[in-house]
Chains A and B, each alone.
Chain A
Amino acid sequence: MRRNIFRLGGALALGTALSLGLAACGGGSGDGSSGGGEAAGTVKVGFLGALTGENAGIAIPPHNGAKLAFDEYNKTNPKTKIEYVPYDSQGLPEQATPLATKAVREDKIVAMVGPAFSGESKNVGPILEEAKVPSVSASATAVDLAQQGWKYWHRVVANDGAQGPAAAEFLTRAMKAKKIFIVDDSQEYSAGLADAVDATLKGKATVNRDKVDQQGSDYASTVNKIKAFNPDAVFFGGYYAQAGRLLKQLRQADVQAPFMSGDGSLDAGLIEGAGEANATDTYIACPCVLGSASDDPEVKDFAQRYKAAFNADAQIYATEGYDAATAIIDAIKAGNTDAEKINEFLKTYSKKGVSKDIKFAPNGELSTSSIFVYAVKGKDYTLLGDSKTASVQ
């Protein structure tokens, strides 16, 4: 390490000298003939999301799903091959911004799968918009992303605005809950989802709310409030680690009300964190089709191919990643090799994907969205069905 610092000192000097020497060439040019190494008939498609870091678990499955789609496509020896370029943002907007800038300025990607998270989408969206590069996210669910007037942005998942009401509707219809306690962990995604549930429940149920600390472990005060409120059901907006902790502490305090959460909690980690014995009466709403929990033959086939390729179960948003990539592949197959044309193609795209029918509304949302409800069964999840029709066994 010490030697490294020394060498880097030298490199720094070299870099400065280089820049001076190249002064005559005149600064950086974004356009022009950079990136000349590409073989004819190859286009680049990027992926932006957290491939490392604490939130990588939600971005890696869609990344793998997309990679599977591109690999399968390239194996067919098409006229235009696709080079898949993953950019690891760690889920941090500060990291995503330079990567997206590089993707459009230097690498000249023609389309992007992602950005994976809503937070980074807000920083990256304007960049893609100005560069006129279409993006299809498999996992960013914040409502307001579709309200920015972006023309190049799409997603293949329903937003929290659809997920929240669907979850709320499931709580009141299938579970007949009249008193509902809503908890979130003060993160962007969590608060948005909790707000959406809260808004839908207005007038239909008595609601009380509290927040827990994302990094905390003692949720006693929240548990006390829930216990005092004595609800028919508890809804938690947030990720599985916090959901597991909350669920465990609730059950330990003898709160046996049904527990429901959203897509961020759809993970085996919830069951491990809460303990199998505590994860009773637990339901998850998700706009996703979980490869490992579905009986649909097409989804099953995908789950097998996925497992063979990555030696892992097709977890959350893997099918969506595959569908997002497939939409882009279909555009390129149809002979659209520049970003502008791919975007035009996506506007008219309509096809049954692995997860659902993929057809975009003008604002980039899916034109029809379905929310599915899963229930914890043993160490795993089972699909109860579409939230509108699913019932509690």
Chain B
Amino acid sequence: MSHSKNTTGIGPVRAAMRKITTPFDEMRDWWGRAPGWVRWTVYGLVIVAALLAPSDSVGAFMSPESDWATILFYPIGVFVLLAIGLNVVVGQAGLLDLGFVAFFAIGGYVMAVIGTELGWNFWEIIVVAVLISSLSGIILGAPTLRLRGDYLAIVTLGFGEIVRLVAQNTDAIGGPRGINSIPHPPDMSDIEIIPDLQPFTYGVIDPRPYYYLLVALCVLVIIFARRLEKSRVGRAWAAIREDEDAAEIMGVPTFRFKLLAFAIGAAIGGATGTVFAAKMISIVPNNFPFILSATILAAVVLGGSGNLPGVILGAFLVGWLPERFRGFEDYRVLLFGGVLVLMMIVRPQGLLPSRQRSAEFAEGSGMGGMGAEVATPTAKAEVSSR
């Protein structure tokens, strides 16, 4: 899946990259041909694997230096869910959002404020949090989504920082001290499935109930995202991503669909924040730095923006690798940065892209249809969206 227009100097890198990515491509092709019952079996196995994942025997290998089940909740589980949310915005609609952490923060703060002040329970709050965060997505999106893509990226970056700084400067919500004693979700049942595991009892020490909650949310969100992708909405997003002007001419109300993508992404981010706050007990504004937005973006791009399995794989790797190799965690950001640059050059479609996205990238237009190509002797003339 490399590009026909080869350039000089990075031949070896490209060849090595191809070696890594060929199995991924083959896997995808196999998946594309696999009959329905095989797919359903794989879905089932994946869910079973996810449910069995937080066992100590797996943890002994996966994270010998930290508690595996907690790692599975944060960063891995939270990253996966955030990446699925960001994928709706970046991967499907082709809008670059550099401030996604804002919605995560809004969800977390809604949980913290309502949970401690009004004493509502988790299930009521998560509904409110989803509404508020998607509303804030619309409020941010409505004036800015008419901008060109790269402007949008910077505006969202600014928005992410504004949310964090306002939380930090507002004493009514704890200022820099954040909010303590956030309530847990109410126990749904004290059933004990196997000794010492009560998956529906939300306590302090055992992270597994929260992890299962995240898994359940992931499954729901994935089903939702898949349905969307296959629907009229998904096709509209693909059209916008590939060529916004053409889509507009063909009668796609691009602005409304972009806004919808923004709102859905924000809602998923908000829901994740709610669960995060309930598990963490205490949150502070510094839980939501810009670098988290960049990390989730790296996960989406690395995995294969637009393709759910790819995005999940990317988020898993980005969350897990620094924990597994804790000695190297200082170099984590260094690696992310390097990988982003490298990926854009040799494999902009990511490790595990969808077929459609690969095709788009092979044409050279894949990253969304906002604005024109960059000035080169061969580039087409600028088609501004303004």
Q: List residues of A whose CB falls within 8 A of some B CB.
A: 1-2, 5-6, 8-9, 11-12, 14-16, 18-20, 22-23, 25-32, 34, 52, 88, 90, 93-94, 97-99, 101-102, 104-106, 119, 122-123, 126-127, 129-131, 142, 144, 148, 186-188, 190-192, 211
A130 CA to B177 CA, complexed, in Å = 23
Query: Would A30 and B66 count as touching, CB distance under 8 A?
Result: no
Contact A98-B20, Cβ < 8 Å, known A28-B55, A106-B56: no
The digit string for B186-217, where 1 denotes a CB below 8 A from any CB of A, is 00000001111100000111111000000000
Contact of B205 among A2, A131, A186, A188 (CB under 8 A): A131
Tell yes or no: B152 within 8 A of A by CB.
no
A16-B49, A29-B56 known; A186 vs B204 contact (CB < 8 Å): no
B66:A15 contact, CB within 8 angstroms = no
Distance A192 CA – B174 CA, assembled complex (angstroms): 11
B176 near A101: Cβ-Cβ < 8 Å:
no
CA distance A15 to B62 in the complex (A): 7
A236 to B116, CA, bound (A): 31
Task: Tell me, yes or no, whether B57 is within 8 Å of chain A by CB.
Answer: yes
10 contacts across the A-B interface (CB closer than 8 A): A2-B20, A22-B58, A28-B54, A28-B59, A28-B208, A32-B196, A93-B280, A101-B70, A130-B203, A211-B169
A26 to B194, CA, bound (A): 7
B335 touches which of A1, A18, A142, A190 (Cβ 8 Å): A1
The residue in chain B whose Cβ has the minimal distance to the Cβ of A29 is: B196
CA distance A148 to B282 in the complex (A): 12
- Chain A residue numbers with a CB within 8 Å of B63 are 98
Taking a contact as CB atoms under 8 Å apart, the answer to whether B67 and A102 are in contact is: yes
Chain A, Cβ-Cβ closest to B177: A188
A188 touches B67 (CB 8 A): no
Which chain B residues (64-101) contact chain A, with CB distance < 8 Å?
A: 65-71, 74-75
Q: Nearest 5 CB-CB pairs, A to B?
A: A98-B70, A102-B67, A101-B67, A122-B282, A28-B55
B264 to chain A, nearest CB (A): 26
> Which of A15, A30, A52, A148 meets B206, CB within 8 Å?
A30
Within 8 A of A (CB), among B6-48: 16-17, 19-20, 23, 45, 48
A88 to chain B: closest residue by CB: B326
Say whether B178 faces chain A, with CB atoms less than 8 Å apart.
yes
A101 touches B207 (CB 8 A): yes
A25 touches B67 (CB 8 A): no
Q: Which of these, B67, B70, B281, B316, contacts A122 with CB under 8 Å?
A: B281
Chain B 296-332 per-residue mask, 1 if CB under 8 angstroms from chain A, else 0: 0000000000000000000011000101101001100
Query: Which residues does chain B contribute within 8 Å of A99, judged by CB atoms?
Result: 66-67
Query: Are B55 and A25 in touch, CB under 8 angstroms?
Result: yes
The smallest beta-carbon distance between B10 and chain A, in angstroms, is: 13
- B interface, by DSSP: helix, strand, loop or mixed? helix
In the complex, which residues of chain B have a beta carbon less than 8 angstroms from the beta carbon of A106? 56, 67
Please, how many angstroms separate the alpha-carbon atoms of A30 and B16 in the complex? 42
Can you name 4 extra interface pairs (CB under 8 A) apart from A16-B49, A28-B54, A188-B178?
A: A9-B23, A18-B58, A19-B55, A102-B66
Which residues of the other chain, B, contact A122 by a CB distance below 8 angstroms?
Answer: 180, 281-282
| Cβ–Cβ contact B205 & A22, under 8 A | no
B224 proximal to A (CB < 8 A): no
How far does the alpha carbon of A383 sit from the alpha carbon of B377 in the complex, in Å? 70
B287 close to A (CB within 8 Å)? yes
How far, in whole Å, are A360 and B66 apart by their CA atoms in the complex? 31
Question: Inside 8 A of B280's CB, which chain A residues have their CB?
Answer: 93-94, 97, 123
- Nearest to A35 among chain B residues (CB) is B56
Q: In the complex, what residue of chain B is closest to A31 when comparing beta carbons?
A: B196
Write the nearest CB–CB distance from A117 to chain B, whole angstroms.
11
Name which of B193, B207, B281 has the most chain A CB atoms within 10 A of its CB.
Answer: B281
Evaluate contact between A192 and B177: CB separation under 8 angstroms.
Answer: yes
Taking the closest CB of chain B, its distance from the CB of A19, in whole angstroms, is 4
Which residues of B have CB within 8 Å of A93?
280, 282, 284, 287
**B residues 107-153 in Cβ contact with A at 8 Å:** none
Contacts A23-B52, A27-B54, A126-B281 given; does A8 touch B321 at CB 8 Å: yes
Residue numbers in B under 8 Å from A52 (CB-CB): 329-330
B53 in the interface (beta carbon within 8 A):
yes
Complex interface: chain B residues within 8 A of A22 (CB) = 52, 55, 57-58
User: What residues of chain B lie closer than 8 Å to A98, measured between beta carbons?
Assistant: 63, 66-67, 70-71, 74, 207, 323
CB distance from B337 to the nearest CB of A (A): 12
A122–B284 Cα gap in the complex (Å)?
10
Measured between alpha carbons, how far is A9 from B20 in the docked complex, in Å?
Answer: 10
User: How far does the alpha carbon of A15 sit from the alpha carbon of B326 in the complex, in Å?
Assistant: 18
Q: Determine if A19 and B281 form an interchain contact, defined as CB atoms under 8 angstroms apart.
A: no
Q: Which residues of A contact B20 (CB under 8 A)?
A: 2, 5-6
Which residues of the other chain, B, contact A97 by a CB distance below 8 angstroms? 70, 74, 280
Nearest chain A CB to B112 CB, angstrom units: 12
Give A93 to B286 CA distance when docked, in angstroms: 10
- Contact (Cβ within 8 A) B330 A119: no
Q: What are the residues of chain A within 8 A of B287 when measuring CB–CB? A: 93-94
Q: Are A190 and B57 in contact (CB under 8 A)?
A: no
Min distance, Cβ B19 to any Cβ of chain A, angstroms = 8
B365 at the interface (CB under 8 A from A): no
**A30-B196, A93-B287, A188-B178 given; A18·B61 CB < 8 A:** yes
Q: A186 near B176 (CB under 8 angstroms)?
A: yes
**Given contacts A29-B196, A88-B326, A99-B67, are A2 and B17 in contact (CB under 8 A)?**
yes
Residues of A within 8 A of B62 (CB): 15
Residues in B with CB closer than 8 Å to A23 are 48, 52
Min CB gap B214→A, angstroms: 14
Residues of chain A within 8 A (CB-CB) of B196 are: 29-32
Query: A32 — nearest CB in chain B belongs to which residue?
Result: B196
Known contacts A15-B58, A123-B280, A27 near B177 by CB under 8 Å: no
A130 to B281 alpha-carbon distance, docked (Å): 13
